[in-house]
Amino acid sequence: MEADNLLVERAKQGDMTAFSELVVRHQKSLLRLAFRVVRDLQTAQDVVQESFFKAHQKLKSFEGRSAFKSWIFQIALNTAKNKLRARSFDTVDLEKTPVSDGVDIEEAMMNDDLKVMIQSEIEKLPTKQRTALNLRIFEDLSFAEIAEVMACPYDTAKANYRHALMKLRHQLSESLVVEGWHNQQTRNLMEADA
Amino acid sequence: MIKLEDWIDYMEGEADLKTMGRLGLLIEHSRADREVLSNLMRMRMLIEHADPAIALEPLTEKAGFLDRLHDRVMTFIEEGQRGRGRLSTSKSSASGSSRSEVRADDSKENSSALD
């Protein structure tokens, strides 16, 4: 598979096939990223479209100091935040989200109330911490990549992630639901060890 | 007393070699420390499974959805290249519904991903 930076170089020369391949590679991640911010499928698709459009327009100024993925993530995050500013999303409408026909085992393990509570606690985190958490846990980015997306030093990216996790741990450990879940899991682990 | 930050670094594979060795020994010999790490990992998994974007998976796995999104993106770019002043953002959308419009030159954004 051709590396992103090679595709970028070809796209800079006007090769639309190369840019098309970059879209194929990153559109799904970008859609997820945007959806976490705007919580609306149509708007998330708009964010993906506008982000690639902006990236294409600015491609010549992209010097490749960071990875294309980090760059396009940064554009998408800013675009999604601008969408939020432009439109008022007061509440998260979970009913709008598509529902799976199949049953995912891990999903089934999680109580819906617990999921909503965790999402709510994540929403309460300061933006930088929430962004670092999202990129690390949901997108599986390295801290170096997170630093690029967030345009901050490596240690800052890591510190934001740590703070987010510690804050969530504190908030969630106060919930009986989580404690009960943890205890059950710990019991299961101990039984498995025995 | 081990700081929680160290456990987080350990879990993420970010601890230095000395800390990795020290925590590795604790995990081996202390049930309490094993539980600290286990609960931290469990919490990480809980967060992972609370990802709101998981709800998109059935849709993105559906045949044609990502192809349509790709076509929509490329059409938008090609129309922009043809120099249209205003471009509809609803081209080739999955729903076909009419949505907001965006100026082709609207690239105003923050220089940083941070607030």
Mark which of A23, A54, A89 sits at the end of a domain. Answer: A89
Set of chain A residues whose Cβ sits within 8 Å of the Cβ of B107: 54, 57-58
Look up the domain containing B82 and give its range: 57-103
Residue B115 lies in a domain: no
Residue B71 lies in a domain: yes
Asked if B41 and B62 sit in the same domain, the reply is no
CA angle B11, B16, B19 (to 5 degrees): 75
Q: Which of A109, A127, A182 sits opposite B115 (nearest CB)?
A: A127
Query: Which token pair is A82?
Result: 């601008």
Asked if B83 and B67 sit in the same domain, the reply is yes
Query: Tens digit of pLDDT for each residue in B40-98?
Result: 998 999 899 999 999 899 999 988 999 999 999 999 999 888 875 454 554 444 333 33
For residue A88, the SS3 value is coil
Query: Tens digit of pLDDT for each residue in A131-153?
Result: 999 999 999 999 999 999 999 99
Residue B82 lies in a domain: yes
Q: What is the DSSP letter of B105?
A: T
Pick the residue with more confidence: A175 or A154?
A154
Residue with tokens 């039984």: A191
CA distance B13 to chain A (A): 10
Instruction: Tell me the pLDDT band of A99, cut-offs 50, 70 and 90.
Output: very low
Asked if A74 and A113 sit in the same domain, the reply is no
Please tell me which residue of chain B has the smallest CA distance to A30.
B53
Does residue A59 belong to the interface with chain B, where contact is any CB pair within 8 Å? no
Set of chain B residues whose Cβ sits within 8 Å of the Cβ of A101: 58
Verify whether the Cβ–Cβ distance B100 to A114 is below 8 Å.
no
Verify whether the Cβ–Cβ distance B49 to A106 is below 8 Å.
yes
Alpha-carbon gap, residue A155 to A58, rounded angstroms: 28
Residue A162 lies in a domain: yes
Look up the domain containing A112 and give its range: 104-194
Alpha-carbon gap, residue A48 to A22, rounded angstroms: 12
Residue A11 has a pLDDT of 95
Asked if B63 and B85 sit in the same domain, the reply is yes
Residue B30 lies in a domain: yes
Interface test mutation site (partner A, options B5, B14, B40, B56, max chain A beta carbons within 10 A): B56
For residue B88, the SS3 value is strand
Mark which of A89, A119, A149 sits at the end of a domain. Answer: A89
Domain count, chain B: 2
Residue A115 lies in a domain: yes
The domain spanning residue A20 has which CATH number?
1.10.1740.10
Asked if B46 and B68 sit in the same domain, the reply is no
Looking at the predicted structure, is the pLDDT value of residue A52 above 80? yes
Once rounded to an integer, what is the mean pLDDT over residues A109-131? 86
Residue A96 lies in a domain: no
Looking at the predicted structure, is the pLDDT value of residue A10 above 60? yes
Please tell me which residue of chain A has the smallest CA distance to B57.
A100
Query: Which token pair is A142?
Result: 């390295």
Neighbours of A172 (CB within 10 A): 20
Verify whether the Cβ–Cβ distance B113 to A189 is below 8 Å.
no
Contact B36, B3 (CB under 8 A): no
The complex scores an ipTM of: 0.73
Asked if A6 and A40 sit in the same domain, the reply is yes
B9: alpha, beta or left? (left if phi > 0; alpha if psi -120 to 50): alpha
Q: Can you say how many angstroms the Cα of residue A76 is from the centroid of all Cα atoms in its chain?
A: 10
Verify whether the Cβ–Cβ distance A92 to B52 is below 8 Å.
yes
CA distance A154 to chain B (A): 12
Please tell me which residue of chain B has the smallest CA distance to A48.
B73
